Copies of this chain bind each other. A is one copy, B any other.
């Protein structure tokens, strides 16, 4: 019984934390770290302002928790790992599709993260360790495998991994900046994905021009 009670308590605590994190994520990504107010976060979460401080030491602590909660490498790493056996075109398509089909909120969080990273050395280090490096490592493993199997040119693995990650990030930013009227939003998603995939695999030059 007692344990049951404690469990329930713990559950409520978890729920409350989730509730706050979700609200904080929305407000932070809408306003940016400094312009976001604890008052608006509390309102969004449907709780009192003071309650936030029962779960998080201060605003920055809450922000860091939001980043940990919503910026994670697992989904993208999963994609790469599951794709190791599939053919390359499928993997790239899946990756591109995954990124481009996310909604704008994620882009906002990402941009937010970017702009806060260089104000907080510790955060930047942690983001590198927790998110960037795992993804890049996985990509590098994949690139090594396809280079050694002869399916890819003998590219510089490190640089190419960064090219791929950079391309994903950049596309998502362009998509967001141009908004609803931009081609990346206007065209059917699969058309965009297929075009990007072809680009990644073959560049834009006429193929086999030396053949």
Interface positions of A (Cβ within 8 A of B): 30-35, 88, 104, 108, 111-112, 114-119, 124, 127-128, 132, 143, 146, 150-153, 155-156, 158-160, 162-163, 165-179, 182-184, 187, 191-192, 195-196, 198-208, 210-211
Name the B residues within 8 Å of A167 (CB-CB).
163, 166-167, 170
Name the B residues within 8 Å of A168 (CB-CB).
170
Q: How far is the CB of A63 from chain B (nearest CB, A)?
A: 13
Q: Do most interface residues of chain A lie in helix, strand or loop, or is the interface mixed?
A: helix
Can you list 12 A-B contacts with CB-CB less than 8 angstroms, sorted by A residue number? A32-B115, A34-B35, A111-B111, A114-B177, A151-B206, A152-B206, A153-B204, A155-B198, A160-B195, A162-B183, A163-B199, A166-B172
Do B178 and A170 have beta carbons less than 8 Å apart? no
Given contacts A205-B202, A208-B208, contact A162 B176 (CB under 8 A): no
Do A205 and B173 have beta carbons less than 8 Å apart? no
Q: How far is the CB of A173 from chain B (nearest CB, A)?
A: 6
Q: How far is the CB of A66 from chain B (nearest CB, A)?
A: 15
Copies in the complex: 4
Lowest 7 A-B CB distances belong to which pairs? Answer: A170-B170, A166-B170, A211-B211, A208-B208, A34-B34, A169-B170, A202-B203
Name the B residues within 8 Å of A153 (CB-CB).
198, 202, 204-207
Q: A115 CA to B173 CA in the complex, in Å?
A: 10
Do B162 and A184 have beta carbons less than 8 Å apart? yes
Given contacts A153-B207, A204-B153, contact A166 B173 (CB under 8 A): yes
Given contacts A114-B111, A115-B115, A195-B160, contact A200 B211 (CB under 8 A): no
Give A208's nearest chain B residue, CB to CB.
B208
Do B156 and A195 have beta carbons less than 8 Å apart? yes
Do A199 and B160 have beta carbons less than 8 Å apart? yes
Give A116's nearest chain B residue, CB to CB.
B32
Give A104's nearest chain B residue, CB to CB.
B118
Q: A208 CA to B112 CA in the complex, in Å?
A: 42
Do B171 and A162 have beta carbons less than 8 Å apart? yes
Name the B residues within 8 Å of A143 (CB-CB).
204
